Structure 1
Amino acid sequence: MDVTPLIPEGRQVVESYGGSRFRVTGTIYESSILVFPDRTLAWPVTTFEQIDAESLAAFHAEGMPPVDILLIGCGRQMRFIPADLRAALRAHGIVIDAMDTGAACRTYNVLMSEDRRVAAALIAVE
């Protein structure tokens, strides 16, 4: 029995990561990325310490898809998101869940396939 989830056409699926790159729905990105169900954007963040409210502003910007859950791929290991950053995004109705980048890629794919309002900020890893 096939248990592969059905992915609606036009949705962004993280197919692979590593080597400081990602492959999302057939496109290679040579940097960290922001992934929404309908688009993927390059993200200039290379380290966890660079993550701040400004670097995540796209997730609540006008004209962008609504997000309820934001997965943060922190790199090789999970890190704790500062309380003030959590509060800033919570003010826009967004809950943050931080984990290592691999776990964030897999979790994003599962939640997106369930048609959840999810997005991911993924730091590229070697």
Structure 2
Amino acid sequence: MRPTDYAAGAVPVDGYGPGFFRAGGQVIHGAVLVDGASAQAWGGLDDLGTLAALAGRIDVLFLGMGAAIARPPADLVAALEGLGIMVEAMASPTAARTYNVTLSEGRRVACALLPL
């Protein structure tokens, strides 16, 4: 195995545990949004504005629904897809790993993760 290579300044998800995520050299408690250049607390599924601000900067949002996969709110998905952001919902650990892999490929991605 070899370490994953990321572009200079790229911010991967470094780890997670019950109620927190580690990304960009910081620990964030609760939901988190990581967009390739930064990591920040996120207001959860009701915080459409923060996700909508990614329009034009990302192509795909990996939406981590917590410990298990769940269906995201249809209105959230429709609003983001209307802005040109494809949404892929999965469990948060899977979303974090998928985000890291596609980030290492240089793709325009972000992940919004609900805590475990």
What TM-score, normalized to structure 2?
A: 0.89
Measured in 1, the distance between the counterparts of 2:73 and 2:43 equals 20
Residue 60 (structure 1) aligned with residue 52 (structure 2): yes
Is this contact kept in 2: 1:36–1:65, CA < 8 A? no
Map 1:68-87 to 2 at 5 A.
Answer: 68-87=59-78
**Structure 1 match to 2:92:** 101
3-state SS of 2:5 partner: coil
What TM-score, normalized to structure 1?
A: 0.82
Runs of 4+ in 1 over 6 A off after TM superposition: none
Is this contact kept in 1: 2:48–2:76, CA < 8 A? no
3-state SS of 1:59 partner: helix
Measured in 2, the distance between the counterparts of 1:74 and 1:14 equals 16
Is this contact kept in 2: 1:59–1:66, CA < 8 A? no
Offset of 1:115 from its aligned partner?
0.9
Which has the higher Rg, Structure 1 or Structure 2? 1
Offset of 1:114 from its aligned partner?
0.7
Offset of 1:65 from its aligned partner?
6.7
- Residue 92 and residue 32 in structure 1: after superposition, are their counterparts in 2 closer, same or farther (change >3 A)? same
Measured in 2, the distance between the counterparts of 1:75 and 1:35 equals 15
Is this contact kept in 1: 2:64–2:94, CA < 8 A? yes
Which stretches in structure 1 are left out of the alignment for 5+ residues? 46-50
Deviations 1:28-85 (A, max 9, x none): 112210110001110133xxxxx14xx13223327x7711101110001111123332
Count the aligned residue pairs. Answer: 116
- The one-letter amino acid of 2:5's match is L
Residue 19 (structure 1) aligned with residue 13 (structure 2): no
Which stretches in structure 2 are left out of the alignment for 5+ residues? none
Deviations 1:3-39 (A, max 9, x none): 3321122111111111211111321112210110001
